[in-house]
Amino acid sequence: MAAEDFTPGLNFIRTIIEADIKAGKNGGRVHTRFPPEPNGYLHIGHAKSICLNFGLAAEYRGLCNLRFDDTNPGKEDVEYVDSIMADVGWLGFDWQDRLYYASDYFEQLYEFALHLIRSGKAYVCALTAGQIREFRGTLTEPGQNSPCRERSTAESLDLFQRMRAGEFPDGSYVLRAKIDMASPNLNMRDPVLYRIRRESHHRTGDRWCIYPMYDYTHPISDALEGITHSLCTLEFEDHRPFYDWALDQLPVPCHPQQIEFARLNLSYTVMSKRKLLELVDKAYVRGWDDPRLPTLTGLRRRGYTPEAIRNFAEIVGVAKRESMVDMALLEHCLREDLNKRAKRVMAVLRPLKVVISNYPENQVEELDAENNPEDPGMGTRKLPFSREIYIEQDDFREDPPKKFFRLSPGKEIRLKHAYYIRCVDVIKDTQSGEIKELHCTYDPESRGGWTQDGRKVLGTSHWVSAAQALDVEVRLYDKLLSVANPAGEKEEKDFMEYLNPASLEIVKNCKVEPSLVAAAPGDRFQFLRQGYFCVDLDSTSEMPVFNRAVTLRDSWAKIEKSQQVK
RNA sequence: UGGGGUGUGGCCAAGCGGUAAGGCAUCGGCCUUUGGAGCCGAGAUUCGUAGGUUCGAAUCCUACCGCCCCAGCCA
């Protein structure tokens, strides 16, 4: 199924939006926002949210804002805001002039807090963090009112203003909403709205020593921006009553609707910021852009396209049940995209030299090769062919198993775009017995890869002419984890125990066809019969480096595997 | 054991009272100058379980069971 003819189905969010439009709610407007906290790199899970928010807005001729939820200066940094903007842009979305920061609303947020205090809906509390926890009660028992709860409006007002003025030490006071300490929803038990923290903020510097909490900031930010549908993940479902409460108390321009959906989980990888950070910090991977990570910068380096990721985001759907999507689906989306667009090229990862004994020495001829059978418009290229070539070691078996269609003694195969060759001799190292090279003969009548007599050959191999080949390094990536879902394992171990030791294999001295000299970082190719590869950032003209983004489906591997099982 | 969610084939996911879409994966077959791609076909007598309502239920009602989230001055 091609991306463009995929018809998006209805999901529960689209259903809500369409009902709202039909009812004339918000004047039929759709305005969403993607609100990351700049405290880490974006990953494929965020991509789902980005595609949802920007996608829905585009679909309903609405708008989507990019807003940084930067209310916790201790954890946030410009490094992250820069990477987030780069990633959202790379994915193909445009927030135009609607780049916002919650920190831009600090002054208004403060004014609204004053409003809350004046209307008796908030008070300054002197309880310590530990006391607040104790007074909060438990899941089954109601909490107790803070002794500060009945503090006068004037006193709270004075205290709060002095909190802002920096008269009190960190942690000494807090501003709390006055709701209901007996609520079965703990989020309604007088939640903290503001805390004192002398930390420098990446945007506001030292202008503030009090910072608003997420629960308080988010609904107001949404309302100030005229958001109609505020999409977030399931764990915020319990916070919705407070979201609505806050907006009901304040003179805000509108009351957005919070809608929760299940976050994306992907098999064989990790998605939490904490785990990703641990992998990076402990140097189990090379950085946030390590191609093994599900970060957008990692996927990009690996060779993923924005189109593949967007299609994936659409295809996984959106619902309220927690789920774990198979990594195979993401890989499928990449293959589907690159199959249509990637130029085919020949590369031999583990070379085995083949001497074609009846081919004239010193002769080099140019053969035509199509660049993409899926798209003739991509044209053809010239491929040098000569007496000495390399084929893949895996494409030869001295003692071939059943159904092995490749080269073996006495057998004939086709060299893609070139000639039929037949193996006549196997040259081994006299000491080790290791196969050094193959002697073959070719059929001059088979130029281009077919013969007049129409005889069948076993299989078709890729190859590279030895003299013209380029030496390159290839990095073969595999799953980050060795199990699909660590949490589903019998005994629960730390996810680090499940890291796949073979997630990266570096293969040096690979031989690729000369047309690849001009390949630049980020360029993607299909290495015939092997997979899709992307030129890595580390690549130089002296040593080109290719990352394997995803393998091609390999039916021989399946056959071989099933043979081993028997 | 308080509250909020959620249970449809191996994995996602439509369905919203009229007799189980679609995708991935899997397994067959066709085709093939990539064992790629493509094409065709197969698989839930059944929708967590048990009852009930109805001519008719995955869809409505009741009970039970499973799983997830909440006791940060994180988001």
pLDDT tens, position by position, A125-175: 999 999 999 999 999 999 999 999 999 999 999 999 999 999 999 999 999
Q: What is the ipTM of this complex?
A: 0.97
Give backbone dihedrals phi and psi of A372, rounded to 5 degrees, phi first: -160, 110
Q: How confident is the model at residue A519 (pLDDT cuts 50, 70, 90)?
A: very high
Copy the structure tokens of residue A61: 């001729």
Instruction: State how beta strands A257-261 and A229-233 pair.
Output: parallel
Residue A6 pLDDT exceeds 50: no
Contacts of A332 (CB under 8 A, 6+ apart): none
Residue A565 pLDDT exceeds 80: no
The predicted model gives A180-194 an average pLDDT of 98
Digit-coded pLDDT (tens) for A255-268: 999 999 999 999 99
More confident residue, A259 or A564: A259
The predicted model gives A385-397 an average pLDDT of 98
Q: Distance (Å, rounded) from C-alpha A15 to C-alpha A214? A: 28
Copy the structure tokens of residue A542: 């002296």
Residues 82-121 of chain A with CB under 7 A from strand B are: none
Cα A106–Cα A111–Cα A116 angle in degrees, nearest 5: 120
- Residue pair A313/A305 in contact (Cβ under 8 Å)? The answer is no
- Residues A462-481 as b/e (b if ≥16 CB within 10 A, e otherwise) read bbbbbebbbebbbbbbebbb
Per-residue pLDDT, A492:
75
The predicted model gives A192-198 an average pLDDT of 98
CB neighbours (10 Å) of residue A2? 10
CA-nearest of A215, A269, A266 to A242 is A215
Q: How confident is the model at residue A5 (pLDDT cuts 50, 70, 90)?
A: very low
Q: Is the CB of A303 under 7 A from strand B?
A: no
Q: Distance (Å, rounded) from C-alpha A542 to C-alpha A528? A: 23
Q: Distance (Å, rounded) from C-alpha A316 to C-alpha A308? A: 12
The predicted model gives A447-464 an average pLDDT of 94
Q: Is the CB of A254 under 7 A from strand B?
A: no
Per-residue pLDDT, A8:
58
Distance A11 CA to B50 C1' (A): 31
Q: Distance (Å, rounded) from C-alpha A472 to C-alpha A514? A: 11
Active-site residue, A37 included: yes
Helix axes A306-316, A78-91, angle to 10 degrees: 80
- Sign of the CA dihedral running A557, A560, A564, A565: positive
- Residue pair A508/A514 in contact (Cβ under 8 Å)? The answer is no
CB neighbours (10 Å) of residue A461? 25
What percent of chain A is modeled with pLDDT above 70? 98
**Residue nearest B11, CA–C1′ metric:** A326
Q: How confident is the model at residue A118 (pLDDT cuts 50, 70, 90)?
A: very high
Q: Is the CB of A445 under 7 A from strand B?
A: no
Residue A32 pLDDT exceeds 50: yes
Q: Which of A75, A149, A197, A273 is catalytic?
A: A273
Q: Which nucleotide has the shortest C1'-to-CA distance from A260?
A: B5
Q: Distance (Å, rounded) from C-alpha A234 to C-alpha A265? A: 13
Q: How confident is the model at residue A365 (pLDDT cuts 50, 70, 90)?
A: very high
Per-residue pLDDT, A99:
98
Residue A78 pLDDT exceeds 80: yes
What is the C-alpha R_g of chain A?
31
Nucleotides on strand B with an atom closer than 7 A to protein CB? 1-8, 10-16, 21-27, 33-38, 67-75
Active-site residue, A456 included: no
Digit-coded pLDDT (tens) for A37-51: 999 999 999 999 999
Sheet holding A504-512, edge to edge: A343-345, A524-527, A531-535, A545-551, A470-477, A504-512, A347-348
Residues 117-146 of chain A with CB under 7 A from strand B are: 127-129, 132-133, 136, 138-140
Per-residue pLDDT, A241:
98
Distance A172 CA to B58 C1' (A): 55
- Residue pair A42/A87 in contact (Cβ under 8 Å)? The answer is yes
Q: Is the CB of A237 under 7 A from strand B?
A: yes
Active-site residue, A370 included: no
Distance A139 CA to B65 C1' (A): 22
For A329-333, A487-491, A496-500, which range has the lowest pLDDT when averaged over its residues?
A: A487-491
Residue A566 pLDDT exceeds 80: no
Average pLDDT, chain A: 96
Per-residue pLDDT, A3:
33
Per-residue pLDDT, A454:
87
Domains of chain A: 3-261 (3.40.50.620), 273-343+472-563 (2.40.240.10), 347-462 (2.40.240.10)
Per-residue pLDDT, A213:
98
- Residue pair A535/A522 in contact (Cβ under 8 Å)? The answer is yes
Per-residue pLDDT, A2:
32
